[in-house]
Amino acid sequence: MVFRPLTLALALALSGCAVPAATGPQPSYAAYFSPGGGCTAQIVDAIRAAQRSILVQAYSFTSEPIAQALLEATRRGVEVSIIVDKSQLKERYTVADDLMQQGILVLVDSAHAIAHDKVMVIDGDTVLTGSFNFTRSAEERNAENLLVAKDRALANRYASNWQAHRRHAKPYATVWP
């Protein structure tokens, strides 16, 4: 489902989120839903289209297809950086340790009760966010949503938030069990 920019801008304004006017190409938005709505495929496709950078914030991260796509992106020269919630240190099926061991910067945000973000900022102009955790359960069993926003102004806001969390996050390697 694709939304008109005005619809999302109105929703953001009513929620109290101030988003500066977009410059450049007309923003576009698409929404996906699970179970079985192709959220994982949309995320993997967006990662495969990345050319420069991917910033990730993940509460739960156990999805092999998403992890594999991020590894492939780094092999193409895309800079990938990930912040995970501290729960991933004890998560049996987390992919965070594998990604770290493959050379991707993985950080742990333990400054909050939970770091409940599920966000990717791709190339500074695309945001993927919603309730969708980066897990198989989110795709196959849970009622989840994913918003893909091609909106540079919104991406700048999310990238700034990512950087704010980056400042207090610790390298996964230093806290990894």
Active site (catalytic) residues: 116, 118, 123
Task: Report the C-alpha gap between 77 and 51 in whole angstroms.
Answer: 8
Task: Report the C-alpha gap between 83 and 162 in whole angstroms.
Answer: 8
| 49 neighbors 122 (Cβ within 8 angstroms) | yes
| 129 neighbors 119 (Cβ within 8 angstroms) | yes
User: Which DSSP category does 92 fall into?
Assistant: T
Alpha helix positions (H), the chain: 5-14, 39-49, 64-75, 96-101, 136-140, 152-168, 172-175
Are β-strands 79-85 and 53-58 bridged in parallel, bridged antiparallel, or unpaired?
Answer: parallel
How long, in residues, is the chain? 177
Task: Report the C-alpha gap between 78 and 54 in whole angstroms.
Answer: 7
Task: Report the C-alpha gap between 158 and 162 in whole angstroms.
Answer: 6
